[in-house]
Structure 1
Amino acid sequence: MSSVNRAPVFCVAVLVTASLSGCVSTVSGTALRGQSAGPVSPDVPTLTETDLERVLLTAGEVNGVMGATGIRVTASSQNMSDNSDGVSDVDCLGAIYGAEQLVYQGSDWSAVRDQVLQEPTADNAHWVEQIAVLFPTTEKAQAFVDKSRATWQKCGGTSIDIDNSDVHSTWKIDQPDVSGDILTQVSVQRNAGGWGCQHALTSASNVVVEAWACSNSIADEARAIAADMIKKAAKN
């Protein structure tokens, strides 16, 4: 499968060739609040590439977190993407996109599974991306999270311009919450009626998971998705 060129944070893109569709930012509606996640489970075994599929949530599980009923998988990939040319500050690429080739470059990752889920309509009320990335060791997975923490903190409080095809948007990146096992950061699209996304990132054993959850009233849904992914990774 070809590498995808998606827009998890600026959800207005019309993408091509196995790319992951973004979400319309003008839709109304309210998502249910995601429950705050507990600590990441320490009992995750060493994973192989064949384990990555079971780390991802089902569409039904994502609907439950997002307080929706019509969300389904709309795109998937087994490759990193490259959106580095479309952001105004490439140093903040990892804070505004997930599963980016440039962000993971040099980290020694070996495999990735990436899915986008949303309502299959033009006016979708939710947009979710879930990503599982395999590393050779626990230490290298944790090192990637530590590097990401520093990037998110550096980019917090800034605004990023994104250009994709004929679409331009500006996103305000909030300060991250790096106090727990799961890093989270919220970004809000300017002049989009409250449309925003929470980004979550953590690791357990030799896997890193990323989650994006977007809606008009986003809360802690991405953190809940990431926590549930780790729980699934812990199951033998």
Structure 2
Amino acid sequence: MTHNESVRISAANRRARLAGVMAAASVLITGCVSTVDGQAVRGHGEGPLNVPPLDEAKLDEILLTIGEINGILGSTQMKVTSDLDDMTDHSEDVSDPDCLGAVYGAEAPVYEGTDWTAVRDQVAREPDEDNDHWVEQTAVLYPAEQNARDFFDRSLATWQDCANDAIVVGEGEYLWQLDDVRVGDTLITQMTTQEGADGWGCQHALSWVSNVTVEAWACGYDITDEAAAIADAMVENAAK
């Protein structure tokens, strides 16, 4: 076995253990998106669509199909491995609980005080232990549009506070480096990389439309704007 093969296998084992830690609903992730000063950028965080208030039944329609997820990630083998309709709490698993919202999705402490009323959270990946991709998509419903906008603004502040920091997840095994936050009208993204994982990294994207926020994580060895693309597609689904 070559050194590179050994490193890759070791990285795969770490990812497999990390998937176990986060299997309940979430994962460490984040990403990058471009900004146009003061301009809407449909497809990457354009200004809010004129969408009437949504109800809980719409949340399932907002999530992308597994075929769409595979298409965006350039895979054919990804399958849904977790499908939840409630929040979780991993605040004790991170070295800085104030950054919980930057590294986990659908976390009860992060959404506390937002008056959220329903959530859909779904994880997908290839079935093999040495999976090439990992994706999470989350849609959260609120009583009114202002709640969604407030959560977006609060998340932006949190992500920016945690940018350029390293967060430990689990019992000290997993160190994630958070990059700068990129901001659009209604889309924020951040890139995160796992130390010692042979280049494994994730993009995290958050957007809002009407009374819903959507989040996406896209992880792999060559991630660019996949999470942003998922979030954009979720917003378009909400507008249908």
Report the TM-score, using the length of structure 2 for normalisation. Answer: 0.83
1:233 is aligned with what amino acid?
A
Which SS does the other structure have where 2:124 is aligned? strand
1:67 is aligned with what amino acid?
G
Q: Give, in angstroms, the shift of residue 55 of structure 1.
A: 0.2
- Structure 1 stretches of 5 or more lacking a match? 1-9, 24-35
Where in structure 2 are the equivalents of 1:17-56 lying within 5 Å?
19-20=24-25, 37-38=43-44, 39=46, 42-56=49-63
Q: Give, in angstroms, the shift of residue 21 of structure 1.
A: 8.4
Match of 1:5 in 2: none
After superposition, what is the alpha-carbon deviation per residue over 1:139-176, rounded to whole angstroms, capped at 9, x for unaligned? 01100000000000100000001116xx7200000011
Match of 1:212 in 2: 217
Please state if 1:199 is matched with 2:204: yes
Contact 2:190 2:204 in 1 (8 A): yes
- Structure 2 stretches of 5 or more lacking a match? 1-14, 29-41
Q: 1:70 to 1:186 in 2, by over 3 A?
A: same
Count of aligned positions: 212
Q: 1:205 to 1:234 in 2, by over 3 A?
A: same
Greater C-alpha radius of gyration: 2
Contact 1:160 1:170 in 2 (8 A): yes
Query: Which of 170, 178, 189 is matched with 1:173 structurally?
Result: 178
Bigger fraction of residues in helix: 2
2:91 is aligned with what amino acid?
S
Contact 1:40 1:204 in 2 (8 A): no
Q: 1:46 to 1:124 in 2, by over 3 A?
A: same
2:56 is aligned with what amino acid?
E
Match of 1:184 in 2: 189
Query: Which of 110, 120, 124 is matched with 1:117 structurally?
Result: 124
Give me the whole-angstrom Cα distance separating, in 1, the residues matched to 2:162 and 2:19.
Answer: 26
Contact 2:206 2:215 in 1 (8 A): yes
Runs of 4+, deviation exceeding 4 Å: 20-23
Match of 1:104 in 2: 111
Give me the whole-angstrom Cα distance separating, in 1, the residues matched to 2:135 and 2:18.
Answer: 14
After superposition, what is the alpha-carbon deviation per residue over 1:33-55, rounded to whole angstroms, capped at 9, x for unaligned? xxx93425513221111110000
Match of 1:30 in 2: none
Query: Which of 67, 76, 79 is matched with 2:74 structurally?
Result: 67
Please state if 1:140 is matched with 2:147: yes
Which SS does the other structure have where 1:211 is aligned? strand
The alignment yields a C-alpha RMSD, in angstroms, of 2.2
Q: 1:21 to 1:137 in 2, by over 3 A?
A: closer
Name the % identity.
49
Which SS does the other structure have where 2:68 is aligned? helix
